[in-house]
Structure 1
């Protein structure tokens, strides 16, 4: 089993510096990189219990998610865990599907050193309390009530990207399927979408806008309603993955041809896009990058590594990517 002395031989650093790093204290960035590389090469496993007793840290962070049953949340877990593993930090995951469970309190009782959260409305007060004890980094949902660090998709720009694509292809009868406006991601994607349409002189008709829970059924029923209209839209944007999946099911059931009889822009689901004929055009968020940056930001709050962080919250917005397919017909040829 590798020891501090083995890492010392690999790096040439003093035992004091190596011990300082593994006890959660600040070291030079070059030293941190060297220690982590040596630890990985030697398969070094620090004694977490002993380290925790010395540093008064548990070496764990908590991840709070609304649910554990969709690709976005599972990718967040995988990205956070991968980013923190080399620093010897473990991850405890807890779902908070409703306000019935004290999910944040449970994590705090496990002595986590910090929390990364995809919050729901019922988590706000608990997270506000947690912020008095540990650093908190938010992902996905911009909760204005929480004055803390966050890594988010630029949701308004993502919605505008979808609108611009449809407009550029000559569509004017355009529909939107989105979640509740109370969810910041849905509110921002929808506002970016409708504002870009308005800039082009296209108003989103009320009958062409459907909102509901972020589940497959909402996407299915909304699209079925649009397709049954006498003057149906020529193109539709679905603002999240579950809505997109429901839309594809409804289009398949209708017998209409994707990209010919009806155009569709989905959200996320690059793997799903490869299974449709023609390939679905999607707006994809950089989920792995969001998870990695959130984990890195939390680690820096904990150990002070890297360039100094301001005391004020660090908030970053990452751009979405258009992944083109063949599901949008060009009407202006």
Structure 2
């Protein structure tokens, strides 16, 4: 229909420059014919699927959904699509599923059940980028929040406002992100001469239900803390539910700091102080690293990209000076 050579049309669809009149002719003919690129045929020829797997522990929380959106947006301009999968109960099942779909690489927020399978596919030369949770035995590129700095920033804020009895609504210390946030929190308080009583530290599943139960226990103590820090979004939600149902006033009776819950912070009164991690930047960096592995421009050694978030001050922390 265009009268152009196959090589010229191929150049256009492979992103190479062609004369403007040829480009217009190709696009006009494609619109008339209803032509679409056949991704399956292209993958057979190139032996690449132009698909990256995104493996997540769950698909029902704000952090993971934002990672999906960020990675998809970052890779789409390169003609790379994503295949999203949540971790399965059987060890390695989710990784096997992605590999059966011939993905070119995997971006993962790994769970303990995924680590060995991810290690094996990485050893076979499949590019893997780990986000959020660091497993020492997984030698891949990594993108993480500086979680020690995050916990420390919250601790300094509470200390600056005169709080001595502070509590942590935390997660499983076996998860590196939770352990590092707690360590940063404790260390920064220690530099101010503040120690946390054992009964002021909780750990458990990263769910709103656990956040609510842990907060209720803290509020029921004979000498309850003056301030609470919840170490992730779901724990923050549970903390807010518990405090709301307790009848205590924020910040007059109890001060609160949440994590990664900016929209929630805006929705409650008084506005919640939160530590916000740069989730879209984490997704962008993970996409950049996987893209570099796929096009061969990455260095031979794997590295860790550590990003910093910021404390967004609301009105949920009282000054006790």
Match of 2:118 among 118, 127, 130: 127
Matches of 1:105 and 1:133 in 2, distance apart? 15
Q: Which residue of 2 aligns with 1:86?
A: 77
Report the TM-score when normalising by structure 1.
0.86
Contact 2:92/2:113 (<8 A) preserved? no
The one-character-per-residue Cα deviations of 1:51-92 (angstroms, maximum 9, x if unpaired) are 212211011110111111111111111111111111111110
Q: Deviation at 1:46?
A: 4.1
Runs in 1 of length 4+ with deviation above 2 angstroms? 42-47, 97-101
Q: Deviation at 1:49?
A: 2.1
The one-character-per-residue Cα deviations of 1:155-187 (angstroms, maximum 9, x if unpaired) are 111011110100011101111110111011100
Q: Secondary structure at the match of 1:237?
A: strand
Q: Which residue of 2 aligns with 1:297?
A: 289
Matches of 1:72 and 1:162 in 2, distance apart? 19
Matches of 1:228 and 1:270 in 2, distance apart? 28
User: Does the C-alpha gap of structure 1 residues 101 and 310 become closer, same or farther in structure 2, counting only changes over 3 Å?
Assistant: closer
The one-character-per-residue Cα deviations of 1:123-170 (angstroms, maximum 9, x if unpaired) are 011001110131000001011111110111111110111101000111
Q: Deviation at 1:230?
A: 2.1
Q: Secondary structure at the match of 2:53?
A: strand
1:77 aligns with 2:72: no
Match of 1:309 among 259, 284, 298: 298
Structure 1 range deviating more: 121-130 or 101-110 = 101-110
Matches of 1:45 and 1:321 in 2, distance apart? 44
Gaps of 5+ in 2: 18-22
Match of 2:48 among 57, 60, 70: 57
1:248 aligns with 2:240: yes
Matches of 1:100 and 1:319 in 2, distance apart? 32
Gaps of 5+ in 1: 23-30, 33-37
Q: How many residues align?
A: 305
The one-character-per-residue Cα deviations of 1:166-221 (angstroms, maximum 9, x if unpaired) are 00111011111101110111000000100111111111110111111111111111
1:257 aligns with 2:249: yes
Contact 1:99/1:123 (<8 A) preserved? no
Matches of 1:191 and 1:97 in 2, distance apart? 30
Structure 1 range deviating more: 219-228 or 240-249 = 219-228
Q: How does 1:277-296 map to 2 (within 5 A)?
A: 277-296=269-288
Q: Secondary structure at the match of 1:274?
A: helix
Q: How does 1:123-272 map to 2 (within 5 A)?
A: 123-131=114-122, 132-272=124-264
